[in-house]
Amino acid sequence: MMKFLIFSLMMMFCKKINFLQNMIFLMSFFMIFNMVDLNYYLISMNFGLNFYSYGLIMLVFWITGLMLLSVKFVNNKYICSLMIMLLMIILMVTFSNLNFFLFYLFFEVSLVPTFIMIIYWGLGSQRILASYYFLFYTMIFSLPMILILFELDYVFGSLSLLLNKYYSLNLEEFYMIIMLMCFLVKVPFYLMHSWLLKAHVEAPVFGSMILASLLLKLGGYGLLLMLNLMYDYFNENFKNNLILISLMGSLVLSIICMCQIDLKILVAYSSIVHMGMMLCGIFSMMKLGILGSYMMMISHGFSSSGLFYLVNINYERLNSRLIYMNKGMLSLMPSMGLMWFLLCSSNMAAPFSLNLVSEIFLIIIIMIYNIKLMILMILVCMFSFIYSLYLFSWIQHGKFMKMNKFSSGKLLEYLNLLLHWIPLNIMIFNLNVLIS
């Protein structure tokens, strides 16, 4: 693992963006062809990989390459690519760390490059307020977590993740809730999601891509690491309440999606809906549910990033994200209409998207866990289908509001979108890799 990190550090100061993209995609292919079925592997100098971190690091490589494709026409390309590469290295260290404290440290450090991206390359007039929301929401809920790490180190004399199955703390419920809040605010959990909407609206396209596809997964991965610590505290009543709040929140937000007129906010709400479904699988604490949540994290990383990129393509041409100003795009950009259809269908869990498998797994686990909650889960999936269809039909059909001279899309944009869609839909043909 250290070889990957050192190579990434060497690439960080390269000024040739095309070379960086090629090397990052090459690293992702190298990792795909070197997958092994072990609990922890590639261990060296306190770094190593497990089943979940391996897939998330491949996602980090892939999305970073796509982000570098999207910064061709921004100001200060070198500084921008430097921030993206720095964030990629921080996320690699976070996902591959075998020490609780270093995981927590880099978990927090990942906020800094994103904060800079929103402030410096943000589009809106309220980007400073949005970046403060993003920074303080996550830090205020995360800082108390360090108390639990000190307690863990005091009791066991070690913070190694390799020993986490042997950790068993007698903590008060208050401390356990603090530990949960640290990761739930990052997901984000329903009622803690207001920072995400502000950050997405003000962030540049590459900021939205990495925020939706990678930074939200830090919370889910942190919960997976802490399951052994929290297992004794999760009685049936507590788990039922968490799953119920997640499902109710996803249902409410999916209904709100159908009332939205801002494309970026609609896609941001869609991200929170999918993350709420992902939390249900983790809180079930069953193998099938955790596997469904893991698949949801991977598939959502591709689909949400692609949708944010599509919204930005329309925004660059029409200077508006309002759904009424983007009507009739099928007659103006017919080829881009196909890309909208492919990514919206993947977002609604249509075959052959990995989203479909993840939602099937999550529906099954909710049915096994508590059949009364299955109605809520099916409603969330149904409304997810409806608002994805609403997004596609309103944008592509109807009469356009104004006529601008613009191309039907650059080759670079189609390449970026296809590189979002292809991995999302070919993984379903080899689920052995994920299920094993």
pLDDT reading at 321 higher than 80: yes
Model pLDDT, residue 362: 93
Residue 298: band (very low, low, confident or very high) from pLDDT cuts 50, 70, 90: very high
Confidence band, pLDDT 50/70/90 cuts, at residue 26 = confident
* DSSP type of residue 192: S
Tell me the average pLDDT across 134-150. 84
Closest CA to 285 of 363, 227, 235: 227
Classify 42 as helix, strand or coil: strand
Preceding amide of 352 cis, omega within 30: yes
**C-alpha to C-alpha distance for 246 and 272, rounded to whole angstroms:** 10
Q: How many of the other CB atoms lie within 10 Å of CB of 339?
A: 22
Question: Which token pair is 81?
Answer: 């690519």
Residue 78, both tokens: 């070198």
- Under a CB-based contact definition with an 8 Å cutoff, are residues 155 and 168 in contact? no
Mean pLDDT of 408-420: 88
Q: Residues of the chain with pLDDT > 90: what percent?
A: 26
Q: Is 33 helix (H, G, I), strand (E, B) or coil?
A: coil
68 DSSP assignment: H
Determine the average pLDDT of the residues in 196-212: 88
Q: What pLDDT does residue 168 have?
A: 60
In whole angstroms, how large is the CA radius of gyration of the chain?
21
The per-residue pLDDT for 78 is: 83
Residue among 243, 242, 266 at smallest CA distance from 255: 266
Cis ω on the peptide bond leading into residue 238 (within 30° of 0)?
no
Angle at 299 between CA 5 and CA 104, to 5 degrees: 45
Distance in angstroms (rounded) separating the CA atoms of residues 376 and 367: 11
Amino acid at 166: Y
Q: Which residues pair with 260 in a beta bridge?
A: none
77-125 pLDDT, tens digit per residue, is: 888 888 888 998 999 889 988 888 888 899 889 988 998 888 888 877 7
Whether residue 201 contacts residue 124, with contact meaning beta carbons closer than 8 Å, is answered with: yes
* Position 39 pLDDT exceeds 60: no
Residue 287 to residue 165: CA distance in whole angstroms: 15
As a whole number of angstroms, the distance between CA 313 and CA 340 comes to: 11
pLDDT band at 303 (very low <50, low <70, confident <90, very high): very high
| pLDDT exceeds 90 at position 302 | yes
Under 8 Å between Cβ of 323 and 84: no
* Contact present, 240 and 295 (Cβ < 8 Å): no
Read off the tokens for 142.
């995360």
Average confidence score pLDDT of the chain: 84
Q: What is the pLDDT, as a whole number, of residue 162?
A: 72
Asked whether the predicted pLDDT for residue 188 surpasses 80, the reply is: yes
The residues facing 222 across adjacent strands are none
String of DSSP letters for 222-242: HHHHHHHHHGGG--HHHHHHH
Distances (CA, A) of 429 to 310, 342, 408, 426: 26, 17, 32, 6
Residue 296 amino acid letter: M
- Whether residue 183 has pLDDT greater than 70: yes
70 is written with which tokens?
Answer: 């999207």
Instruction: Quote the pLDDT of residue 34.
Output: 65
pLDDT at 52: 84
Where is mean pLDDT largest: 14-18, 191-195, 198-202, 360-364?
360-364
- pLDDT, residue 345, reads 92
CA 427 to CA 434: how far, in whole Å?
Answer: 9
- Which residue do the tokens 């590639």 mark? 42
> What is this structure's pTM?
0.92
38-42, 144-148, 192-196, 257-261: lowest mean pLDDT where?
Answer: 38-42
Q: Report residue 216 CA to chain centroid gap.
A: 4
